[in-house]
Amino acid sequence: MGFLDQWSFLLPGFEAPPAAPSGPSPTGSPRIRKVLLAGQPFDWVLTRSSRKTVGMSIQQGLIRVTAPRWVSIEEIETILVGKSRWLINRHQEWLNAQRNRLEPTEQWAHGASLKFLGQTLQIHLDPAAQQISWDAAGQRLILPLSLQADHEQIRDRVHAWMQQQAKDILLERLDLLAAQAGLQYSRFQISHAKGRWGSCTQDGRIRLNWRLVQFSLPVIDYVVAHELAHLRAMDHSPGFWTEVAKILPSFEEGRAQLKGVRLED
Ligand SMILES: [Zn+2]
Please give the distance, rounded to the nearest whole angstrom, from the Cα atom of residue 183 to the centre of ligand 1: 16
Q: Output DSSP code: residue 211.
A: G
Q: Tell me how far apart the alpha carbons of residues 138 and 127 are, in angstroms, rounded to a whole number.
A: 18
The candidate with the shortest Cα–Cα distance to 83, out of 31, 14, 35, is 35
Please give the distance, rounded to the nearest whole angstrom, from the Cα atom of residue 184 to the centre of ligand 1: 17
How many other CB atoms are there within 10 angstroms of residue 65's CB atom? Answer: 25
pTM surpassing 0.85? no
Per-residue confidence in pLDDT tens, the chain, 265 aa: 333 344 444 443 333 343 433 444 444 567 889 999 999 889 999 999 988 889 999 887 889 999 999 999 999 999 999 999 999 998 888 887 776 666 776 678 898 999 999 999 999 999 999 999 999 888 999 999 998 898 999 999 999 999 999 999 999 999 999 999 999 999 999 999 877 899 999 999 999 999 999 999 999 999 999 999 999 999 999 999 999 999 999 999 999 988 877 665 4
Q: What is the pLDDT of residue 136?
A: 87
Amino acid letter for position 162: M
**DSSP SS3 for 253:** helix
Please give the distance, rounded to the nearest whole angstrom, from the Cα atom of residue 10 to the centre of ligand 1: 38
Backbone phi and psi for residue 123, each to the nearest 5 degrees, phi listed first: -75, 125
**Are 210 and 184 within 8 A, CB to CB?**
no
Say how far residue 113 (Cα) sits from the centre of its chain. Answer: 16
Please give the distance, rounded to the nearest whole angstrom, from the Cα atom of residue 225 to the centre of ligand 1: 10
Q: What is the CA radius of gyration of the chain?
A: 24
Q: Output DSSP code: residue 43.
A: E
Q: Tell me how far apart the alpha carbons of residues 4 and 96 are, in angstroms, rounded to a whole number.
A: 16
**DSSP SS3 for 11:** coil
Please give the distance, rounded to the nearest whole angstrom, from the Cα atom of residue 232 to the centre of ligand 1: 11
Please give the distance, rounded to the nearest whole angstrom, from the Cα atom of residue 23 to the centre of ligand 1: 55
Tens-place pLDDT, residues 87-105: 999 888 888 777 666 677 6
Please give the distance, rounded to the nearest whole angstrom, from the Cα atom of residue 26 to the centre of ligand 1: 51
List, as one string, the DSSP characters of 68-96. Answer: ETTS-HHHHHHHHHHTHHHHHHHHHHHHH
Q: What domains lie within the chain, and their CATH numbers? A: 6-99 (no CATH), 113-258 (3.30.2010.10)
Q: What is the pLDDT of residue 1?
A: 31
Q: What is the pLDDT of residue 263?
A: 65
Q: 164-179: string of b/e by CB count within 10 Å (b at 16+)?
A: ebbbebbbebbeebbe
Q: How many helices (H) and strands (E) would you count in the chain?
A: 6, 12
Please give the distance, rounded to the nearest whole angstrom, from the Cα atom of residue 5 to the centre of ligand 1: 23
Q: Tell me how far apart the alpha carbons of residues 123 and 134 are, in angstroms, rounded to a whole number.
A: 10
Please give the distance, rounded to the nearest whole angstrom, from the Cα atom of residue 213 to the centre of ligand 1: 19
Residues 6+ apart with CB under 8 A from 168: none
